[in-house]
């Protein structure tokens, strides 16, 4: 039977959290008295999570596993979950229990009130390093400033999406995905619910600095041309300065002044502009690389085992 609710949890080496996640989701969803499914996406785990997911699926038909052929990253794993989801309302949740499953009931209540996107806002974060909290906070604020889409501050992927929203998002097949931005971009009736982000149930973060930076770059390039325009602004400013400075310097030299003798001024100007040009090229490269990825038209992910394989 078609479930009313789909819960999506991406799993990357979370073997220690899985049984607790299953227990708490089952407990919470049992209270809704509706049909539900839990889609566990195994994002190329190597710690036994894959086997654990298979076991859960064999024991309980609520569990629908999607097992990737390799690690594709969190955003792609969630995308696969959205693709396989069948519910009228779809909830995205982290597998490490940093997002309390009990909040799903509150989200469902808001959904019944007519909201089509109910996102959870991190009012407080527990058990995360100073570095993680500061960079995350800065990240949300920079994105908010430079993008045209007003992506709510301090909001992760923990949210409920109406079927209508999921259908629209499933038609957006961009490779470098920033789902919170996409969910804001589509519009619809949205509301935020504050919550306290718990510490990880077990294990360590699967988002090292490198992946966080990649996510930030995807967010910015997906929703803003601002970095491309920076080069134009700097160009106008330096051209403006040179229009004033060049006649001034020529005049000084002709009148016999020694003010601009030597290499220092030349060196400073060349190094500064060289630096600006290289950075601008790099920024251009970020966009061009993404265009190239899109043009290749490869699938977003490769599935080794899908829910149908477990239904026999």
**Footprint of ligand UDP (CB under 6 A):** 10-12, 14, 43, 71, 73-74, 77, 94-96, 98, 205-207
Residue with tokens 């005049």: 251
Q: Which does 176 bind (CB under 5 to 8 A by kind): ligand UDP, Mg ion, none?
A: none
Our CB check for ligand UDP shows the closer of 171 and 210 to be 210
Structural contact between residues 171 and 186, judged by C-beta atoms closer than 8 angstroms: no
Q: Which does 37 bind (CB under 5 to 8 A by kind): ligand UDP, Mg ion, none?
A: none
The reply on whether position 98 binds Mg ion by CB under 5 A is: yes
Query: Taking the complex as a whole, how short is the minimal distance between the CB of residue 25 and ligand UDP, in angstroms?
Result: 13
Our CB check for ligand UDP shows the closer of 201 and 310 to be 201
Query: Taking the complex as a whole, how short is the minimal distance between the CB of residue 268 and Mg ion, in angstroms?
Result: 46
Of 46-54, 88-96, 128-136, 286-294, which part binds Mg ion (CB under 5 A)?
88-96
Our CB check for ligand UDP shows the closer of 127 and 274 to be 127
Structural contact between residues 9 and 40, judged by C-beta atoms closer than 8 angstroms: yes
Tokens of 293: 């990825």
For CA atoms 185, 118, 140, 288, the dihedral sign is negative
Task: Name every residue whose Cβ is closer than 8 Å to that of residue 177 and which is 6 or more positions away in sequence.
Answer: 75, 76, 79, 218, 222, 300
Our CB check for ligand UDP shows the closer of 10 and 152 to be 10
The reply on whether position 14 binds Mg ion by CB under 5 A is: no
Residue with tokens 């908010």: 144
Tokens of 111: 């959904």
Query: Taking the complex as a whole, how short is the minimal distance between the CB of residue 63 and Mg ion, in angstroms?
Result: 21
Residue with tokens 């909290």: 133
C-alpha dihedral (211, 217, 222, 223), degrees to nearest 10 = 120
Neighbours of 230 (CB within 10 A): 15
Tokens of 95: 């597998």
Our CB check for ligand UDP shows the closer of 215 and 283 to be 215
Of 87-95, 138-146, 166-174, 175-183, which part binds Mg ion (CB under 5 A)?
87-95
The closest of 242, 4, 200, 168 to 100, measured between CA atoms, is 200
Query: Taking the complex as a whole, how short is the minimal distance between the CB of residue 156 and Mg ion, in angstroms?
Result: 9
Q: Give contact residues for Mg ion (rule: CB under 5 A).
A: 94, 96, 98
């Amino acid at each position: 039977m078609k479930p009313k609710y789909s819960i999506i949890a991406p799993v990357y080496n979370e073997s220690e959290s899985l049984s607790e996640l299953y227990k708490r989701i089952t407990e919470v969803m049992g209270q809704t008295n509706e049909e539900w499914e839990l889609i566990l996406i195994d994002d190329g785990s190597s710690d036994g999570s894959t086997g654990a997911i298979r076991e859960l699926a064999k024991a309980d038909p609520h569990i629908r596993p999607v097992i990737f052929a390799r690690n594709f990253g969190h955003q792609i794993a969630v995308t696969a979950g959205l693709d396989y989801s069948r519910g009228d309302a779809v909830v995205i949740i982290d597998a490490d229990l940093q997002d309390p499953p009990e909040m799903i009931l509150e989200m469902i209540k808001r959904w019944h009130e007519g909201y089509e996107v109910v996102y959870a806002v991190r009012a407080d974060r527990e058990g995360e390093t100073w570095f993680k909290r500061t960079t995350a906070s800065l990240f949300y604020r920079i994105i908010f400033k430079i993008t045209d889409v007003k992506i709510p501050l301090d909001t992760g992927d923990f949210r409920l999406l109406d079927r209508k929203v999921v259908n629209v998002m499933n038609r957006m097949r961009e490779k470098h995905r920033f789902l919170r931005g996409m969910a804001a971009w589509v519009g619809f009736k949205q509301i935020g619910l504050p919550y306290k982000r718990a510490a990880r149930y077990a294990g360590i973060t699967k988002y090292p600095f490198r992946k966080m930076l990649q996510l930030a770059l995807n967010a910015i390039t997906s929703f803003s041309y601002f970095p491309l325009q920076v080069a134009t602004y700097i160009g106008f400013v330096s051209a403006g300065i040179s229009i004033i400075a060049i006649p001034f310097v020529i005049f000084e030299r002709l009148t016999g002044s020694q003010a601009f003798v030597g290499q220092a001024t030349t060196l400073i100007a060349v190094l500064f502009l060289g630096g600006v040009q290289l950075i601008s090229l790099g920024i251009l490269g970020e966009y061009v690389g993404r265009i190239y990825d899109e043009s290749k038209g490869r699938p977003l992910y490769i599935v080794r085992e899908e829910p149908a394989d477990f239904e026999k």
